[in-house]
């Protein structure tokens, strides 16, 4: 549920809560920790403290009904590890608000030790000096996170351990596809062909989602082979409008021009309604969409009809891109990073518990069994195994620049224009390119033009 | 003739009197300070200090410090003088936001104030019984938290689920409340719904403070009910009108809840649809990497504009009188 995935209601309530948060931030709300005093002992001494150490941890996982609550996991850990006591706090609100709270708390010396950060937010939090390098404690856990440990890497630093991933996959209504004589597309050409066929029958096998483009479309560009932010000679070389992006743009432009795609805001009411009414019978979405879609369509004729497939080939082979996902990072001011990482590793390898939160776990120690409710919605499919396969296909070339969140707004505006025909899809990437360079410059980071 | 009167026998001598009065005054001052203290403390904590902090912050910007691609994992607040202010006043997005707000205010405030005045006049007239019920009813929308009201209205505007849109469409009227040409009007409707009752209360209080002898005198002179209203009541609530308009200007310039909620389903509106949204999203790091400094600069420029408008309006009003 990484970035902004809390849904409209929670998001708006989060907004309302901002004033309260601002106050609680001032008064030292959140989880108070001892004021960070410099350790006088050597690192080996602090490794085996006599008194139990206290680790605070803030997350924004859903903690819904029927899920294993994060605080329950913390209780379990606390029982088993009397020397390392963890306090878990759930943050209700949008990710950007949580980042601000973390920043304010850290500056006031009352920050938490561990916090959930989206992968697109990690470079930013590191550049701001809020997430710290813990590579000396992280290396020993690397084998538990094969292929995903890089997600929490920033240059030479490692700031924590990954928790879940959001590879893009394709969700579709199997029964509708059979009824309309459609096949599940494996390439973008096939996709366009099937989309046109389906549109003739008044149904759409995909929806363009302007409010979701920043991570959704960048993920598709990644699947098409893009690499937007490249360190060359210690400078950022920004290539948002590269070949991969062009391929992704051409794909959507064709779908929009031929009216073969529906257009819906992902987080408005209309998308859910279109799904329920059977107007939209397929969607390109991140792995974390699996439980959300099931939830959106609970109790309708759609139940048991849907299925998950790999993202079609966007022109770069069996590759997919990231759309969200997050890890648990160690933050500045954390007194006991080593112990924090010990808990971090344990937490992120609790595969079954994390799966109940709707997460596609990043750890390689085991594949969780698909929760029954999810499997029932997807016609008995082993959904998590399919999503695990998508994990393996994640593009290794795509990474985010610091301050990636500043390009969201220009991308969304351009996407809205593309959706209503007043602009082109390619302009979404042009807007992202311009804002990327501007933001890096404004932040005082080296950028090549 | 002796100008000085002697104190009557048995009364305190002047010296004693001064001393007693001094003690009483000191005691009074002490309890006075005690009563004012909670206000002063809260005023300092939630108003004065944040304001000073914001002004200080507005001269700083976060910049990478450690060198390298990620600034060495270090960012410091660098003093940039008036750079943040220069960035605000030269930003076309900021002025576009101001333009929207001013257009919005020019339409919404007169409509709302006139409606509030009309409602207050009706309630004040002897025609209406059960004033309390109506007063409460009109005021009720104001009791709904702004963000909740905005969300309720958003559902009513969403074409796919709105009963209003469906109803109008059944009458052959296709209205898109979320359209780019409509959205300011849709939001004006939200604000009017929320604040009309509030402004009405101010008018009502002013109306009820008018001495009823005036009505009686007017009636004896043969004035009709309409004349009483236009010649006595309306002129007498001019002070209240000034207050409501000033409050509305200050409130409207901070337009935030309504567009923020609407923007969640209309991404074309963007993070900077109104200046206050721009300030908030800049603070969250969604618009520029600079963070608090640029955000504070936007807020302070907005405060100056709101203050300026209020002063201009008050001066114009005084001139007219």
Q: Pick the range with the lowest mean pLDDT from A297-311, A354-368, B39-53, B82-96.
A: A354-368
SS3 label, residue A126: helix
Token pair listed for B58 = 């507005």
Minimal CA separation from A389 to chain B, in Å: 32
B-facing residues of A in 281-340 (CB < 8 A) are none
Non-local CB neighbours of B9 within 8 Å, separated by 6+ positions: none
- Note whether A269 contacts B286, CB cutoff 8 Å: no
Closest CA to A315 of A147, A192, A183: A192
Sign of CA dihedral A175, A181, A184, A188: negative
Question: What is the pLDDT at residue A373?
Answer: 84
Task: Check CB contact under 8 Å for A268 and B281.
Answer: no
Interaxial angle between packed helices B146-157 and B163-170, expressed in degrees from 0 to 180 and rounded to the nearest 10: 30
- Is residue A15 within 8 A of residue B147, CB to CB? The reply is yes
Query: Is residue B64 within 8 Å of A128, Cβ to Cβ?
Result: no
Residues of A in contact with B87 (CB under 8 A): none
One DSSP character per residue, A376-432 reads: HHTTT--HHHHHHHHHHTB-SS--PPTTGGGGHHHHHHHHHHHHTTSS-THHHHHHH
Alpha-carbon distance B71 to A126, whole Å? 9
Residue A27 has pLDDT above 70, yes or no: no
pLDDT score, position A17: 41
Give the model confidence (pLDDT) of B145-168 as tens digits. 888 888 889 888 988 788 888 888
- pLDDT tens string A104-115: 999 999 999 999
* Res. A6: pLDDT tops 80: no
Chain B residues lying within 8 Å of A439, measured CB to CB = 288-289
pLDDT at B202: 93
Of A123, A417, A442, the CB nearest to B70: A123
pLDDT at B164: 87
- The parts of chain B modelled with pLDDT lower than 50 are 1-3, 6-7, 9-10
Inspect the interface and report whether the beta carbons of A439 and B288 lie closer than 8 Å: yes
**Across chain A, what does the average pLDDT equal?**
88
Q: Do A157 and B73 touch (CB under 8 A)?
A: yes
Q: How far is CA B210 from CA A371, B204, B207, B213, B216, in A?
A: 71, 10, 6, 9, 12
Q: Which spans in B158-237 are helix H?
A: 163-170, 183-208, 212-220, 225-228, 234-236
A128 touches chain B (CB under 8 A): yes
Position A16 scores a pLDDT of 40
User: Which chain A residues contact residue B272 at CB under 8 A?
Assistant: 409
CB-CB contact of A183 with A194 (8 Å): yes
Please give the pLDDT value at position B19.
65
pLDDT at B169: 86
Which of A5, A14, A16, A154 to mutate against chain B (most B CBs within 10 Å)? A16
CB within 8 Å of B57: residues ≥ 6 apart = B77, B292, B293, B296
Say if residue A198's pLDDT is above 50. yes
Q: Which of A298-302, A348-352, B22-26, B89-93 has the lowest mean pLDDT?
A: B22-26
Q: Can you give the pLDDT at residue A23? A: 38
**Does residue A260 have a pLDDT over 50?**
yes
- What would the two tokens of residue B1 be? 């003739």
At residue A390 the predicted structure's pLDDT band, cuts being 50, 70 and 90, is very high
pLDDT digits (tens, 9 = 90+) for A138-172: 999 999 998 888 899 998 999 999 999 999 999 99
Q: What is the pLDDT of residue A7?
A: 42
pLDDT-derived band at A377 (thresholds 50, 70, 90) equals: very high
| Whole-number pLDDT of residue A94 | 87
- State the pLDDT at residue A65: 82
Instruction: Please give the Cα distance from A287 to A11 (Å, whole number).
Output: 21
A61 in Cβ contact with A359 (< 8 Å): yes
Cα–Cα distance between A344 and A77 in angstroms, integer?
11
* Out of A88-92, A349-353, B85-89, B140-144, least confident range: B140-144
- Mean pLDDT score, A210-228: 96
Q: When comparing pLDDT for A269 and A1, which is higher? A: A269
Of A8, A127, A268, the CB nearest to B64: A127
Q: Please state the rounded mean pLDDT for residues A31-41.
A: 41
**pLDDT for A24:** 38
In this predicted model, what pLDDT tens digit does every residue of A121-138 receive, in sequence order? 999 999 999 999 999 999
Q: Which chain A residue has its CA at the smallest distance from B67's CA?
A: A445
Which chain A positions have a beta carbon within 8 Å of B264's beta carbon?
8, 11-12, 211, 267-268
* Residue found under tokens 């939209």: A280
Interface test with chain A among B285, B288, B291, B295, by most A beta carbons within 10 Å: B285
Determine the Cα–Cα distance for residues A194 and A260; give it in Å rounded to an integer: 9
Cβ neighbours around A232 below 10 Å, total: 9
Contacts of A157 in chain B (CB under 8 A): 70, 73
Round to the nearest angstrom and report the end-to-end CA distance of chain B: 52
Binding-face residues of A in 6-45 toward B, CB within 8 A: 8-9, 11-13, 15-16, 18, 23
> What residues pair up with A428 in beta bridges, in sequence order?
none
Check residue B166 and give its pLDDT: 86
Chain A interface test: which of B155, B268, B293 (most A C-beta within 10 Å): B268
Token pair recorded at residue A155? 């240059």
Q: What is the pLDDT of residue A19?
A: 39
pLDDT at A20 over 50: no
Which residues of chain A have a CB within 8 Å of the CB of B266? 265, 416
Chain A hits for B159, Cβ within 8 Å: 270
Is the confidence at residue A44, as pLDDT, over 70?
no
């Amino acid at each position: 549920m990484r970035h902004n995935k809390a849904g409209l209601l929670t998001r708006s309530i989060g907004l309302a809560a901002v004033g309260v948060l601002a106050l609680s931030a001032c008064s030292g709300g959140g989880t108070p920790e001892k004021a960070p005093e410099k350790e006088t002992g050597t690192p080996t001494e602090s490794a085996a403290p006599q008194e139990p150490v206290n680790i605070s941890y803030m997350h924004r996982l859903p903690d819904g009904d029927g899920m294993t609550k994060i605080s329950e996991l913390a209780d379990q850990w606390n029982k088993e590890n009397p020397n390392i006591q963890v306090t878990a706090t759930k943050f209700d609100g949008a990710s950007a608000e949580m980042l601000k709270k973390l920043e304010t708390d850290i500056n006031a010396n009352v920050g938490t030790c561990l916090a959930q950060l989206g992968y697109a937010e990690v470079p930013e939090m590191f550049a701001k000096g809020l997430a710290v390098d813990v590579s000396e404690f992280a290396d020993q856990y690397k084998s538990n996170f094969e292929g995903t440990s890089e997600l929490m890497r920033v240059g030479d630093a490692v700031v924590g351990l990954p928790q879940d991933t959001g590879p893009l996959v394709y969700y579709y209504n199997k029964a509708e596809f059979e009824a309309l004589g459609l096949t599940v597309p494996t390439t973008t050409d096939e996709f366009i062909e099937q989309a046109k066929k389906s549109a003739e029958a008044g149904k759409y096998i995909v929806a363009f989602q302007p409010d979701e483009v920043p991570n959704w479309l960048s993920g598709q560009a990644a699947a098409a082979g893009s690499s937007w932010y490249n360190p060359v000679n210690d400078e950022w070389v920004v290539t948002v409008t590269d070949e991969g992006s062009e391929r992704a743009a051409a794909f959507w432009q064709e779908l929009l021009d031929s009216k073969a795609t529906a257009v819906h805001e992902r987080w408005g009411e209309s998308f859910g309604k279109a799904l329920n009414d059977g107007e939209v019978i397929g969607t390109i979405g991140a792995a974390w969409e699996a439980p959300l879609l099931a939830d959106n369509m609970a109790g309708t004729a759609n139940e048991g009809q849907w299925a998950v497939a790999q993202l079609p080939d966007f022109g770069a082979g069996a590759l997919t891109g990231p759309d969200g996902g997050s890890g648990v990072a160690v933050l500045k001011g954390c007194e006991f990073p080593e112990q924090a990482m010990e808990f971090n590793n344990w937490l992120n390898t609790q595969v079954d518990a994390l799966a109940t939160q709707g997460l596609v776990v990043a750890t390689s120690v085991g594949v969780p069994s698909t929760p029954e409710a999810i499997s029932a919605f997807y016609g008995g499919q082993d959904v998590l195994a399919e999503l695990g396969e998508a994990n393996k296909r994640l593009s290794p070339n795509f990474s985010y620049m610091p301050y990636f969140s500043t390009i969201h707004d220009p991308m969304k505006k351009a996407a809205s224009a593309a959706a209503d025909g007043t602009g082109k899809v390619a302009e979404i990437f042009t807007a992202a390119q311009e804002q990327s360079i501007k933001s890096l410059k404004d932040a005082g980071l080296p950028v090549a033009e | 003739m002796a100008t000085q009167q002697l104190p009557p026998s048995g009364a305190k001598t002047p010296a004693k009197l001064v001393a007693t009065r001094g003690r009483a005054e000191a005691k009074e001052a002490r309890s006075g300070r005690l009563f004012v203290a909670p206000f002063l403390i809260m005023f300092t904590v939630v108003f004065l200090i944040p304001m000073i902090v914001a002004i200080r912050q507005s001269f700083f910007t976060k910049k990478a410090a450690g060198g390298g691609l990620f600034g060495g994992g270090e960012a410091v607040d660098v003093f940039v003088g008036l750079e943040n202010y220069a960035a605000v006043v030269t930003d076309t997005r900021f002025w576009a936001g101001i333009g929207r707000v001013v257009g919005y205010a020019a339409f919404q405030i007169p409509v709302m104030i006139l409606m509030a005045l009309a409602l207050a006049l009706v309630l004040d007239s002897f025609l209406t019984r059960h004033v309390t019920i109506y007063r409460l009813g009109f005021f009720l929308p104001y009791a709904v938290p702004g963000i909740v009201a905005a969300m309720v209205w958003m559902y009513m505007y969403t074409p796919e689920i709105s009963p209003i849109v469906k109803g109008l469409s059944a009458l052959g009227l296709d209205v898109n409340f979320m359209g780019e040409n409509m959205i300011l009007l849709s939001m004006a409707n939200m604000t009017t719904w929320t604040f009309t009752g509030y402004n009405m209360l101010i008018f009502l209080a002013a109306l009820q403070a008018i001495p009823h002898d005036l009505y009686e005198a007017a009636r004896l002179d043969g004035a009709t009910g309409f004349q009483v209203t236009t010649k006595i009541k309306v002129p007498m609530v001019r002070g209240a009108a000034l207050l409501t308009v000033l409050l509305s200007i200050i409130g409207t310039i901070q337009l935030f809840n309504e567009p923020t909620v609407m923007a969640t389903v209309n991404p074309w509106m963007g993070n900077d649809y109104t200046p206050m949204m721009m300030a908030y999203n800049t603070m969250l790091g969604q618009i520029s990497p600079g963070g608090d400094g640029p955000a504070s600069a936007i807020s302070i420029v907005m405060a100056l504009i709101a203050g300026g408008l209020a002063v201009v309006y008050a001066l114009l009003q005084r001139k007219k009188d």
